[in-house]
Structure 1
Amino acid sequence: MQDNQHPRSLVLSMSCPDRGGIVAAITGFIADSGGSITETAHFVDRWTERSFMRASFSGSALASRETLADRFAVIAEQFDMDWHLYDAEQRCRVLLAVSKQGHVLNNLLHRWSIGSLPIDIVGVVSNHPDMRSLTEWYKLPYHYLPVTPGDKAAQERQILELFASTGADLLALARYMQILSADACETLAGRAINIHHSFLPGFKGAKPYHQAHERGVKIIGATAHFVTTDLDEGPIIEQGVERVDHTMGPDELAKIGHDLESVVFTRAVRWFAEHRIFPSGSRTVVLRS
């Protein structure tokens, strides 16, 4: 039993084929376990006929996460659930990757340093030395892993080894301008998020702001998405947009875009850390309060 002044806090996330009784089964389980729901969100996707739910709950009399998971497994099997039960106090461990531009990285580091992001940053990895001083100012390890021409695979193996050795839960590509191999994408499936400096699915690849300027767009955006083997095609987590006009050149569009990228990516990292993102085929469901 927990100390009355230190209640245990947990997060339950699940998806399953939709049918009656799902919410009742979950809330009943929490109540019967001595828990009190602090936040809940439920969504039924009528296109896939699947039910998604996230519930956070706490209680001084709650059993251990392992014991509760064993008990809940019976309900999960009954409803054919894909589910996870997390300790809410176990913070998400994040490895950041960056190349030469630091605006997204700096935003994440600042928010982490003031305690507004529920993550533990285990380090920063880069194929360039440019962001070393910024990273070390925050007293974090900086891993400079240059890409050797003709042997990119060796550098990628180092990143995967670093991801494993640091116990990272998420690889956050904060403007890391290298394409991950198919093997790396598969190894990190569901555990790597990228920020694309464009409102996908438009303007993929390099220099999207130049592409946007050439097309005379009136809205630019940024997209955070899961990394998959299909370049810039992973399930979208979050997007942001800003209105622009014909007086703005590519450089001005890029400045506006940098702010969008920072905000959008921070949201995606936060939602991942809070277990709010549910992959659903080529889409995602994000359950927010």
Structure 2
Amino acid sequence: MPSSTAILQVICPDRPALVSELSGWVAANGGNIRHADHHTDLGAGLFLSRIEWALEGFGLPREAIEPAATALAARLGGEGQLHFSDVLPRAAIFVSRQDHCLVDLLWRVRAGELPMQVPLVVSNHPDLQDLAEGFGASFVQVPLTAATKPEAEAQQLELLREHGIELVVLAKYMQVLSAEFLAAFQGGGGAQVINIHHSFLPAFQGAQPYHRAWERGVKLIGATAHYVTEDLDAGPIIEQATVHVSHRDEVEDLIRKGRDTERLALSRAVRLHLRRQVMVYRGRTAVFD
């Protein structure tokens, strides 16, 4: 098994010698760098860096690494986030009636492909209770209508607090989270919400994208996994997957093929997020894959 690592993400104004300063700080503390990825956004004048190093042999005690790394980012005029690879985030999966994304995520967690814990599955329907509980997750049905949405979301937020959730994955949850819900859950911390949209965004936003894609006669359909913001289907994109379709395909064929892209895009996006390979800035993402 690989040893545990520390992962530092830094965004700061671009200038010469930043790579040297960051890698030099790790080296000065006896760190062995496993991965180092950098990107300069010339238009924004920003430098983005992801450095991962082995904790074994590192000169700082674990509890001292985060304040030291934060201070380093501040000296560079930017912001930094530190994560440890052996800390498994607690995630909740929100679903409705469709099961293909939920099954895929839970199976990948069990197989060790997704480094997270899933103690909670929340749904507005009872259909997937046996499936969720079969993988050891608590299943809670929270019925939701337009009239009861504020009360339902308050109950959901309480469930997230009770279970210590820091990541929500919308795995075909056919409801729109309110701005109030997002503000309360994400707040000023690192909590995030990832959604899978059954379209290659920005095309065919909203409902029934496969039907509209079929009507337009497209030859390529896809799915998009993105962070959720107040703007519907407009959050920063993490991952996309596509598949070819033809004039022989009916709407049902597009839906069938689309499910494969949904599973793939969502699982890839969640893994990238968990491995801290995604950096969000100015409404977009840099993905160090």
Aligned residue identity for 2:52: S
Deviations along 1:179-232, one digit per CA (max 9) or x if unpaired, are: 111111223446001000001111111111001011111110100111111111
- Kindly report which structure 2 residues correspond to 1:45-194, keeping only aligned pairs within 5 A, or say none: 45-62=41-58, 63-148=60-145, 150-189=147-186, 191-194=192-195
Residue equivalent to 1:197 = 198
Report SS of the residue matched to 2:8: strand
Gaps of 5+ in 1: none
Q: Is the 8 A contact 2:126 2:141 kept in 1?
A: yes
Gaps of 5+ in 2: none
Q: Is the 8 A contact 1:186 1:229 kept in 2?
A: no
Q: Is the 8 A contact 1:224 1:268 kept in 2?
A: yes
Residue equivalent to 2:231 = 230
Distance in 2 of aligned mates of 1:73 and 1:223: 32
Distance in 2 of aligned mates of 1:42 and 1:193: 24
Report the CA distance between 1:7 and its aligned residue.
Answer: 5.8
Q: Percent identity?
A: 38
Aligned residue identity for 1:66: E
Report SS of the residue matched to 1:238: strand
Distance in 1 of aligned mates of 2:249 and 2:161: 44
Provide the TM-score with structure 2 as the length reference: 0.94
Q: Is the 8 A contact 1:65 1:85 kept in 2?
A: no
**1:258 maps onto 2:259 in alignment:** yes
Match of 1:42 among 38, 45, 55: 38
Provide the TM-score with structure 1 as the length reference: 0.94
Return 182-191 or 17-26, whichever deviates more: 182-191
Report the CA distance between 1:6 and its aligned residue.
Answer: 9.7
Backbone CA RMSD of aligned residues: 1.7
The 1:21/1:137 distance shift into structure 2, 3 A limit, reads same
The 1:9/1:51 distance shift into structure 2, 3 A limit, reads same
Report the CA distance between 1:65 and its aligned residue.
Answer: 3.1
Distance in 1 of aligned mates of 2:137 and 2:286: 33
How many correspondences in the alignment? 284
Distance in 1 of aligned mates of 2:282 and 2:68: 29
User: 4+ runs of 1 displaced by more than 4 Å?
Assistant: 5-8
Report SS of the residue matched to 2:90: strand
Report SS of the residue matched to 2:253: helix
Distance in 1 of aligned mates of 2:251 and 2:209: 9
- Which has the bigger relative contact order, CA under 8 A and spacing at least 6? 1
